[in-house]
Amino acid sequence: MNNMVIFPILLPFISGILLLFFRNLKVQKTFSVLSLSASTLLALYLIADVYTNGIRTLDVSNWAAPFGITIVADMLSSILVLTTNIIALCVVIYSFNSIGKEREKFYYYPVFQMLLIGVNGAFLTGDIFNLFVFFEVMLMSSYVLLVLGGTKIQLRETIKYILVNVISSALFVIAVAYLYSVVGTLNMAHLSERIAEIGQPGIITVIAVLFLIVFGLKGAVFPLFFWLPGSYYAAPAPVLALFGALLTKVGVYSITRTYTLMFYHDTDYTHTLLSWIAIATIIIGVIGAIAYWDIKKIVIYNIIIAVGVIVYGVSLFNEAGTNGAVLYLVHDMIIKAALFLLIGIMAKIAGTSDLRKMSGLIKEFPVVGWTFFVAAISLAGIPPLSGFAGKLLIVQGSIEAGDYFGTFIILGSSLIVLYSIMKVFINGFWGVPMKIENKQTKTVNMLLVPAMVLVAISLAFGLGLEKLLPYFSQATETLMNPDLYIDAVLKE
C-alpha cells in the first residue's frame, strides 16, 4: 500500500478537471505551474523512495496483483516520470508567451494536463490493457492539441494523424486479445511469468511482432514512421516540443518494457528483427535530416534518428546496451524539448522556418545563438555533454555483441546529426544579419528562459553523470532481470 505511486497520474487529472471550471487565464496559468511543480517534486520523492526501497507497487482498489490493476514504479518509470514533468513544466511556461489567447481560451491548459495523465500513466502502469487506455488518453489529448487553432494545415495533418493512430489502436486491441487468448492474463508481471512457463512458442513470437508493429507506429520506427514528419510539422512550437519529447518516447518505452519483460525467450528472431528495424530507422532519419532546409523538418527527422538509436540499444539485450538506451532516452527527451523550443524562438524571430531565408541572427540575439549551440553539440554527443555517455554505452554494447555494422551506423549517424544541426546553426545564426521586422526582444527573452532551463538541465545531466549513474544502473538491473519486477508485483 503506497498511494504515492499513483499521484503522478492523479495530480494532472485533478488539476485538469479543476481547470475546466476556472476559465480565467491567470488562474489557469498559475494552477498549471503549481500542479506541475508539485508533480516534479513528487517524482523526485518517488525516485528516492524506489532507490532505497526497491520497486514500489500499488494494487488499485485493493485487489491483489494479477486480478486488479497494478501501478508499478520501478526506477525506469520513475526517471521517465520525472523527465516528463520537468519537460512539461518548461513547455507550459513557454506556452504563456507563445501559444496565443485564441488557443488558451479553448481549453489548452486542461488538455495539456490530460496529455500528462496519459504519458505518466503509460510509464507507471503494470497492466497491458491499462497501458492501452493510457495510450488512448494521451492520443486523444494529442489530437486536440494538434488541431486546436484550426488552421488549414493543422486540419489536414490531424486527419492523417488520427487515421494512423486509430488503426494502430485497433491493432493494439487485437494484439492484446491474441495475447489474452493465449496466456489468459493481462497483468504484465503475470504475463511474463506465464510466457516463461510455456517458453515462448511460435504464436507468442507472432504476438511479439504484432506489438512491435503497434508500438512502432506510435514510436515511429522504420517502415511505420511515414505519418510523423507531416503531422508534427503542423503543430505550433510548444505543442511540437511536447510531442517530440514525449509521445514517440512512450512508444519506445513500451517496446523496451515488452521486449525486456515479456518477449525475451526467442531473441534470435525478435531482437534481431528489432536491431534491423532500428538500423533502418537511423538511416531513414539521417537521410531526412540532411535533405531538408527547414529547421522544423531537420529536428523532426532527428527524433526518428534518436528513436532508432534507443531501439537499437534495447535490441542488443545486454547490460551495456540497455543501460545506454535508458541514458540516451532520458537525454533525448530533454534535449529534443529544448531544441524544439529553441527553433520555435528562431522561427518567431525570423518569421519563417526556411533556413535559406534566415541568417545572422546571432548579431541581435547572441544568447539564443549560444544556447542553441550548446544544445546542438549536446545532441550530437560531444564528450562532456549529456548525449555522450548513452551513445558510448550503446556502442560498447554493440561491440560486445559483435555487431560491427550497427556500431558503424550509430557512429556515422552521430556525424550526420552533428552536420544537420550545425547546418541550422551556421546558416541561421552566422552570416550577414538579416532584416528583422518587429523585433520582439522582450518576448524572445521570456521564451528563452524555459529553453535555457532545459539546456542547463541537459548540461547538468552530462556533467553530473557520475552521481546519476547508480540510479540508471538500478533501472537497467530491473530491465535485465524480469524476476525482480515479477517478484515485486506478485509479491512472492
Q: How far apart are CA 458 and CA 115, in angstroms?
A: 23
Q: How many angstroms separate the CA atoms of 489 and 190, rounded?
A: 9
**Toward other proteins, which CB reaches closer, 63 or 419?**
63
Q: How far is the CB of 88 from other proteins (least distance, A)?
A: 20
**Smallest separation (angstroms) from other proteins to the CB of 36:** 18
Candidate list 21, 24, 152, 202; residue touching other proteins; CB under 8 A? 21
Q: Give the nearest distance from C-beta 3 to other proteins in angstroms.
A: 5
C-alpha dist (Å) from residue 73 to 65, 143, 206? 14, 28, 29
- Tell me which residue of 12, 17, 18, 63 sits closest to 40, measured CA to CA: 12
127 binds other proteins (CB under 8 A): no
Q: For other proteins, which stretch binds (CB under 8 A), given 8-16, 286-294, 431-439, 449-457?
A: 8-16
Nearest CB to other proteins, comparing residues 9 and 486:
9
Q: According to the binding rule CB under 8 A, does residue 46 interact with other proteins?
A: no
Q: Is 38 in the site for other proteins (CB under 8 A)?
A: no
- CA gap 411, 390 in Å, rounded: 12
User: What string marks each residue from 235 to 254 as x (binds other proteins by CB under 8 A) or -?
Assistant: --------------------
**Residue 233 CB neighbours (<10 A):** 15
* Nearest-approach distance from CB 383 to other proteins, in angstroms: 45
Nearest-angstrom CA–CA distance, 28 and 16? 10
Exactly one of 8, 12, 13, 346 binds other proteins (CB under 8 A); that residue is: 13
Backbone angles phi, psi at 203, to 5 degrees: -65, -35
Query: Within 10 Å of residue 39's Cβ, how many Cβ atoms?
Result: 28
Phi, psi (5° rounding) for residue 349?
-65, -50
Q: Which of residues 403-432 bind other proteins (CB under 8 A)?
A: none
Which one of 17-25, 145-153, 183-191, 241-249 is the stretch in contact with other proteins (CB under 8 A)? 17-25
- By CB under 8 A, residue 469 contacts other proteins: no
- Phi, psi of 74, rounded to the nearest 5 degrees: -95, 180
- Does 17 sit near other proteins (CB under 8 A)? yes
The contacts of residue 133 (CB under 8 Å, 6+ apart) are 121
Number of residues lying near other proteins (CB under 8 A):
15
**Distance (Å, whole) CA 435 – CA 357:** 10
Q: Hey, what's the cell of 113?
A: 494536463
- Which among 485, 491, 477 is positioned nearest to 196, based on CA atoms? 485
Nearer to other proteins, 6 or 235 (CB): 6
Residue 131 near residue 139, CB atoms below 8 Å: no
* Dihedral (Cα; 300, 167, 254, 464), 10-degree rounding: 20
Contact 51, 471 (CB under 8 A): yes
Nearer to other proteins, 69 or 176 (CB): 69
Q: Find where cell 516528463 sits.
A: 84
Residue 60 is a binding residue for other proteins (CB under 8 A): yes
Residue 43 vs 175, nearer CB to other proteins? 43
- What is the CA 170 to chain-centroid distance, rounded? 22
342/409 Cα distance (integer angstroms): 28
- In the list 24, 53, 62, 438, the residue contacting other proteins (rule: CB under 8 A) is 62
Q: Which is nearer to other proteins, 10 or 449 (CB)?
A: 10
Site for other proteins contains 490 (CB under 8 A): no
Q: Does 59 bind other proteins (CB under 8 A)?
A: yes
Which one of the spans 14-22, 25-33, 358-366, 459-467 is the region binding other proteins (CB under 8 A)? Answer: 14-22
Contact status: 20 vs other proteins (CB under 8 A): yes
Q: Which is nearer to other proteins, 64 or 159 (CB)?
A: 64
Q: Does the protein bind other proteins through residue 133 (CB under 8 A)?
A: no
Nearer to other proteins (CB atom), residue 106 or residue 404: 106
Q: Could you say whether residue 61 binds other proteins (CB under 8 A)?
A: yes
Region binding other proteins by CB under 8 A among candidate stretches 15-23, 157-165, 231-239, 430-438? 15-23
Q: Is 6 in the site for other proteins (CB under 8 A)?
A: yes
Binding flag, residue 24, other proteins (CB under 8 A): no
Residue that has been written with the C-alpha cell 534518436 in this structure: 306
* Interface residue with other proteins, options 47, 50, 58, 298 (CB under 8 A): 58
User: What is the three-class DSSP state of 57?
Assistant: strand
Closer CB to other proteins, residue 22 or residue 269? 22
Report the alpha-carbon distance of residue 240 to residue 388 in Å, rounded: 25
Quick check: 216 and 167 in contact, CB under 8 A?
no
- Please tell me whether residue 14 binds other proteins under the rule CB under 8 A: yes
Does the footprint of other proteins cover residue 167 (CB under 8 A)? no
Contacts of 482 (CB under 8 A, 6+ apart): 192, 260, 261, 262, 264
Binding footprint of other proteins on the chain (CB under 8 A):
1, 3, 6, 10, 13-14, 17-18, 20-21, 58-62
